[in-house]
A and B are shown apart, each in its own frame.
Chain A
């Protein structure tokens, strides 16, 4: 029941203080003072030491009706017993002025929140006669404060929870504020320059979207490659938006970066897939024309009763069928998601097996093929032996081709070695050739496309197959130019296998990888012709 709407009764205007309040300073009793209190836009009551309402101003009477004589707690809180947290004590018992906020969820008043000031009224003997309780309605203020707090919490939750890296920067590209994700991946960055944090360098970027937002007050974006504090690179799309003051002046710019490494990888994979389709179609065309040629030669041999010619044609047909088989195998290896069938194998024995398969081919091509004997037999390795066999065979085949097609005085030579890389907790199969090396444009493409430098004889899928196998093993394929020309390819297989998503191919620089721990002056183990 709300009393606030009850009409104010005329009779209460001429309220007389009861006996016992005679000690109240006379100016309060003065009609002028009462008129002043009546005019105040807040609730004013005079409360006795027994918490009884002795007098109420107009505003209070208007809302609550006949309240004089009621206990304070009933008027303000609709309680039947004194409030356990009664704040009037300081005024009534200690004689000091006090100020507090009072929530009135249930009361005779329309206000739900008030700011209260209690002033003791002291008699001539120094005794507190009553307290003047002045309550100002701050309900609206409280509601706005709550709204503000709520929106601040929401803003904070958004700022912190959004799955993007957010930083606020000043005109000098100094970071003023970052969100949690930013701090997680780039470290505490307040006070540092954007380009130091994102790019790890001392000069600002040539084109900076933050500066552009400062210049024209518009939203800008760019795509960047940045580095986490761990050193890992990532591709991001960056949006920048101005933050303006009340005059409309841009005083800071918010930069929001979203990681798009996955999208970029998919883009590259899609492009590579398109390329693969084109290469596959081209390979099939070559195989078919080879088969057609072979069939023609067989036919011609039979017609001429020339068994030697027919035999030649038949070999061409067989070669075409073999190529088709290899192509299909490569396509299946690339397209199927498969889990490696792990077994413990001796890496050196695995390499020896692959090398021995290529002995005849190497001899036919006039290339020396060697497997280096390690100083210490590597520990058994847990891998899918068939898959690693395929990967190593691809590298050796590439290396032999590279040497065979490169004409120079020196004999073509392919060295295969197995080595431990303790610092990377990995085992490496290395294939080094003294061929022509990889042209820069081919090196570039190795990262993203299928490449064949072998004209019609290569499917262009070999390295893609190798890459996939290594990825399944949580390893990587890396390459760098050889010390004496040619190329060094490495299959790096972690001892603790963990499958990864990224392309496993990495380009290195000469001498950046560990040298094989070969035995000093150890003889070559030579399944080949070395």
Chain B
């Protein structure tokens, strides 16, 4: 039997997490949801998912900070991260520079909200094939 493919969704919007988890489950993934960054970090350490979907703008803590934490954690740094963002493209460009400056691995991909479901599934598949 094929090994379950675990996806952790860290996003503060319940509607978004419900949608994404349903979508991923319908396509054979096991979806896990964290509605705030702190819960996200806790679940990450326990779960060690195959891929992370991370919202960039959360009120409690910026997704960028979460990203830094993961990228600097030796046990977690190999997990591909797909960043979900509602902000425009030039901001994404700024963030790319930001990662370079901090000498951090870049996220696997950026997806702009609202996400296109087919594109999301494709990117998730790609991220997994890169790892395995």
Contacts and interface: CB of A to CB of B under 8 A. Distances in A.
Interface residues of A, number: 23
B64 interface: no
Interface residues of B, number: 18
A410 to B, nearest CB: 15
Contact of B19 (A286, A316, A406, A455): A316
A523 to B, nearest CB: 33
A316 B23 CA distance: 14
B114 A294 contact: no
Interface in A310-331: 312-313, 316, 319
Contacts of B16: 293
Contacts of B18: 293, 297, 312-313, 316
B19 A296 contact: yes
A379 to B, nearest CB: 41
Interface string A284-308: 0110111011101100110000000
Contact of A456 (B19, B26, B86): B86
Given A316-B15, A405-B59, A289 B22 contact: no
Interface string A387-399: 0000000000000
Contacts of B19: 293-294, 296-297, 316
Given A405-B59, A407-B60, A456-B13, A289 B23 contact: no
Contact of B22 (A286, A290, A296, A455): A296
B78 interface: no
B114 A285 contact: yes
Contacts of A286: 113-114
Given A286-B114, A309-B22, A407 B59 contact: yes
B108 to A, nearest CB: 22
Given A296-B23, A312-B18, A316-B19, A455 B86 contact: yes
A407 B15 CA distance: 22
Interface of B: 13, 15-16, 18-19, 22-23, 25-26, 57, 59-61, 86, 113-115, 117
Contacts of B115: 289
Interface in A33-62: none
B7 to A, nearest CB: 16
The 9 closest A-B pairs by CB, nearest first: A289-B114, A293-B19, A405-B59, A297-B22, A316-B15, A300-B22, A407-B60, A312-B18, A300-B26
A348 to B, nearest CB: 33
Given A297-B18, A300-B26, A319-B15, A292 B114 contact: yes
A297 B19 CA distance: 6
Given A319-B15, A455-B86, A289 B113 contact: yes
